[in-house]
Amino acid sequence: MRILYLHSEIMPYHVPVFRSFLAAGCELHVMRWTRRNITPYQLPSSLPVTTYDRESFSTRAITDMARALRPDIVYIAGWQDLGYLPAAMALRRSGTPVVVGFDDQWLGRLRQRAGALLSRFVLRPLFFSHAWVAGPRQYAFAQRLGFRDDEIIFHLLSADTRLFGAVPERRLARATTGFLYVGALRRVKGVDVLLDAYDIYRKELGGAWTLTCVGSGELAERVARCPDIHHVGFSDQDALAGLAERAGAFILPSRLDQWGVVVHEFAAAGLPLILSEGVGAAPQLLIPGYNGFRVRNADPADLAVAMRRMELSSEGERQAMGKRSTELAMAINPEMSAQSFLSLARRKPGTVFRQANP
């Protein structure tokens, strides 16, 4: 089976899904951005995937390439790159399944309502046959865009559960303390809220845990100036797994995080979670009071209280929360993600498909 991915930026968590496609006997072609990326990540050169630099192709050239390739199924990462849409239309007309993926949450804003109307009458019928969503909040969005229940699949995004799932056993062998944040150091991610909360936690609530912030962005200098905060730049997956071994809890205080694969990664790693209401993965990966705490958006005081509450939990209580995080995380994995996508191609008459080796 030949798969064509028309993507934006490729991230490390895409690689395990790509490997699952390859293990299923698929031929994978990936067009991706190379000049508009927010991280320095590059696909491993050893990965047997045919890649195309988006910036080297005109809109017409993308359509010509897609037609010549004759894929069995196509994935398009949302509609942020309008240059992909003519290829989607051409392949849709030929009967090829064209799957749009997105992790947007339905918030009912005016722009979303206008987009939903546009989708029902233009995007959905002309360009896309199916929607591939991350979770329940994205499913609600897909329905409003005009996709029927049988045209929506789940598990768009997955952590590398093999890598991060190996962490919990190593965590049991050591005392774990300190908070860990991984992500862009930006206001939308709530990093300013986190810094204010940490100041309250230390000075007013008597908290003793350190905070490690991993990433880069507009607030990096402010993070670097804060005492008791350890700033780490962009890190690969192995380094993140190493940080998870020592951390006491993972925090993501985003004002709006459409999904947040990092939540899946550190839940799989066995960390208790502290998540804001704006985190899209929270409904699936956090049960408040069971494997962590949920806090109000943009509320440093509420976050500080949750941090202190986490610190005051016993080691046994935090280990129990971490175990539950892992159990919730293992409901999604890269093979499930790949097989969810391939299930759409199996519906196409005459498609040749070989199952993955057991």
Q: Are 66 and 98 in contact (CB under 8 A)?
A: no
Three-class HEC string of the chain? CEEEEECCCCCCCHHHHHHHHHHCCCEEEEEECCCCCCCCCCCCCCCCCEEEEHHHCCHHHHHHHHHHHCCCEEEEECCCCHHHHHHHHHHHHCCCCEEEEECCCCCCCHHHHHHHHHHHHHHHHHHCCEEEECCHHHHHHHHHCCCCHHHEECCCCCCCHHHHCCHHHHHCCCCCCCEEEECCCCHHHCHHHHHHHHHHHHHCCCCCCCEEEECCCCCHHHHHHCCCEEEECCCCHHHHHHHHHHCCEEEECCCCECCCHHHHHHHHCCCCEEEECCECCHHHHCCECCCEEEECCCCHHHHHHHHHHHHHCCHHHHHHHHHHHHHHHCCCCHHHHHHHHHHHHHCCCCCCCCCCCC
CA distance 57 to 93: 22
CATH number of domain containing 107: 3.40.50.2000
In a domain, 306, yes or no: yes
Segments forming the whole domain that contains residue 322: 161-329
142 & 217 share domain: no
- The CA distances from residue 241 to 210, 270, 333, in Å, are 18, 11, 16
264 & 283 share domain: yes
Global pTM value: 0.93
pLDDT recorded at residue 121: 79
pLDDT recorded at residue 355: 43
In a domain, 303, yes or no: yes
pLDDT recorded at residue 352: 46
18 & 147 share domain: yes
pLDDT recorded at residue 347: 73
239 & 308 share domain: yes
pLDDT recorded at residue 356: 39
293 & 342 share domain: no
**Could you report the per-residue pLDDT of 311-327, keeping only the tens digit for each?**
999 999 999 999 999 99
227 & 279 share domain: yes
pLDDT in tens, the chain (358 residues): 999 999 999 999 999 999 999 999 999 999 999 988 777 788 998 999 999 999 999 999 999 999 999 999 999 998 889 999 999 999 999 999 999 999 998 888 888 888 888 888 788 899 999 999 999 999 999 999 999 999 999 999 999 999 999 999 999 878 789 999 999 999 999 999 999 999 999 999 999 999 999 999 999 999 999 988 999 998 999 999 999 999 999 999 999 999 999 999 999 999 999 999 999 999 999 999 999 999 999 999 999 999 999 999 999 999 999 999 999 999 999 999 999 999 999 876 555 444 433 3
248 & 306 share domain: yes
In a domain, 95, yes or no: yes
26 & 121 share domain: yes
Structural domains of the chain, count: 2
In a domain, 115, yes or no: yes
Q: Are 137 and 106 in contact (CB under 8 A)?
A: yes
pLDDT recorded at residue 89: 96
